[in-house]
Amino acid sequence: MSEPSFLRLPVNPDEGFPQSFRLSFEGRSYVFGLQVTIAEEVLPDAYASAGLNAVVDLPDDGAFLVVTVVREGVAEGVTLLRRKVIPGLVYRAGELALVFRTVRIALGNLNGYGRWGSEVVAGVARA
């Protein structure tokens, strides 16, 4: 079975993490949430010299991205997916397929916004 054709998700790393956004896709509305966790003991050694520009590639020991997808349409919505993601794997969220190609988070984007060097490349397709 071939991989579906993915459209890029509108993740804006400069908005910081956590972040959420609404997406209308094939006649339905979804809310995506992205939460980054990086344990203090695994903060990069580069933090001392690079400061808030220090970047962590996720996942790593004690560092990960959790994605939540909620389908709107009923009073409280229906949660389709909530899990840690690994780049390159395709995840099913109800009628959606999701893939995360790149997840690099700059420390300045943890609970903060700005152009610190974070990069998140992700796609959505019909499952």
Predicted confidence (pLDDT) per residue in 58-85, tens digit? 999 899 999 999 999 877 899 999 999 9
Residue 98 lies inside a defined structural domain of this protein: yes
Angle value at C-alpha 89, between 23 and 68, nearest 5 degrees: 35
Residue 1 lies inside a defined structural domain of this protein: no
Residue 84 lies inside a defined structural domain of this protein: yes
Q: β-strand 90-93 against 96-106: which pairing, if any?
A: antiparallel
Q: Which two tokens stand for residue 93?
A: 């969220």
Residue 36 lies inside a defined structural domain of this protein: yes
Residue 2 lies inside a defined structural domain of this protein: no
pLDDT above 80 (res 44): no
For residue range 24-33, list pLDDT tens digits in order.
Answer: 999 999 999 9
Query: Reduced to 3 states, what is the DSSP secondary structure of residue 104?
Result: strand
Residue 77 lies inside a defined structural domain of this protein: yes
Instruction: Give me the domain span that covers residue 65.
Output: 7-126
Q: What is the pTM of this model?
A: 0.91
Question: Considering its fold, how many domains does the chain have in total?
Answer: 1
Nearest to 62 by CA among 42, 47, 84, 87: 42
**What's the rounded Cα separation, in Å, for the pair 34 and 41?**
22
